[in-house]
Amino acid sequence: MGARDLPAGRTVVAPGGAAHTRPSIVVLNPRAAGGRAGALAQPIRDWLAAHAPDVLLIESDSIERSRAALQCLPRSSRVVLVGGDGTLHHMLPVLLTHRLALGVQALPWAQALALALQGPTRRMDVGELLLPRGRVPFLSSLAVGFDAAVGARAIGGPRWLDGRPRYLWATFAELARLRHHTLRVRADDTLVHDGRALFTSVFNTPTYGSGMPAMPPARIADAKLDLLVAGDFGRLGVLGMLPRLLRGTHLGRRRIAAHRLQALEIDSDRPLPIAADGEPVEATRRLEVRVRASALAVVSARPPHGVAATAQP
């Protein structure tokens, strides 16, 4: 999963409930979307002055400062995060531990901001990666294998490329050094794969990789995660699969398997590249994943199953 292109910045809202009874803040990452999100600072400041003068705007590209701002809030306070997927991922642990909430809005920012401060909330599942050093929550996807390596390469890609073009550039670059892993994969204590695999990734939302519909059946409020296993594909096989992945027509194809689960265990012959919501995680030979059902409240302009609008990777 890579950061999605934000033509004018994307508004990510984290309200604590339907009633606006607690302090509210807006945290804006000016570097998101290649710096374009920073252009929203003054318009948002003006909008708040006119419509919500008690709401504080914090403009910061420091993860530590933004986390500290959230940690100082009483539980159930409303928070608006304006930024990309990296902002979401790094703030998610604080939102969970402080019982704040999260929603992602594919709306014009003024509409999204108004909804953030006034709209009702719904519950959303969250995925969680369990590692020896600790737990890593993820909102949208956990990429394991080839697609995680592609995501890491995309982060360091050419600055003039953004969105899906950058992801495709990284895919072809990674294809030149194609690597497989030998995996044993257990979903809810059932062995579902034993052998070579290109990737085995977990989804809470239908899309990732700058909007690729990797798992169209995924729902954010069904107490399940969705596993996608791509088996022993060579370079030509990957090239043949990529157009289907872009269209969301790859499910049911040979060497592609999908499973719905609550708990997952993966063992590999060598360290696996991993990315949680597009952010690289330390490589490991063994990992566990679980779903945290209804762990997060979200504000959404659509029902929870309308994930394409409410949780875009």
CATH 2.60.200.40 domain residues, the chain = 136-294
DSSP state of 74: P
Give every CB contact of residue 149 below 8 A, 6+ residues apart in sequence. 174, 179, 273
pLDDT higher than 90, residue 15: no
CATH 3.40.50 domain residues, the chain = 11-119
Instruction: Please work out, in degrees rounded to the nearest 5, the angle formed at the alpha carbon of residue 209 by the alpha carbons of 207 and 212.
Output: 45
pLDDT higher than 50, residue 4: no
pLDDT higher than 70, residue 16: no
Was domain 11-119 assigned CATH 1.10.260? no
More confident residue, 69 or 293: 293
**Range of weakest confidence among 54-63, 94-103, 267-276:** 94-103
Question: What's the confidence (pLDDT) of residue 12?
Answer: 63
Nearest to 45 by CA among 32, 58, 34, 36: 58
Residue 49's Cβ-side half-sphere holds a number of Cα atoms within 13 Å equal to: 6
Contact (Cβ atoms closer than 8 angstroms) between residue 142 and residue 276: yes
State the CATH class of domain 136-294: mainly beta
Question: What's the confidence (pLDDT) of residue 82?
Answer: 83
Question: What's the confidence (pLDDT) of residue 106?
Answer: 52
Reported pTM:
0.84
pLDDT higher than 80, residue 181: yes
Question: What's the confidence (pLDDT) of residue 8?
Answer: 41
Contact (Cβ atoms closer than 8 angstroms) between residue 167 and residue 154: yes
* E strand spans, 175-262: 181-187, 190-197, 199-203, 225-230, 256-261
> What are the Cα distances from residue 45, in Å, to 48, 51, 57, 58, 147?
5, 10, 7, 10, 38
Question: Amino acid identity, residue 119?
Answer: G
**Phi, psi for residue 158 in degrees, rounded to 5:** -60, 135
pLDDT higher than 80, residue 135: yes
Question: What's the confidence (pLDDT) of residue 197?
Answer: 96
DSSP state of 187: E
Structure tokens at 263: 């708990």
State how far the Cα of 230 lies from the Cα of 244, in Å rounded to an integer. Answer: 13
More confident residue, 10 or 125: 125
Question: What's the confidence (pLDDT) of residue 17?
Answer: 46
pLDDT tens track for 212-262: 899 999 999 999 999 999 999 999 988 888 889 888 899 988 899 999 999
Question: What's the confidence (pLDDT) of residue 283?
Answer: 94
More confident residue, 10 or 18: 10
State how far the Cα of 294 lies from the Cα of 223, in Å rounded to an integer. Answer: 7
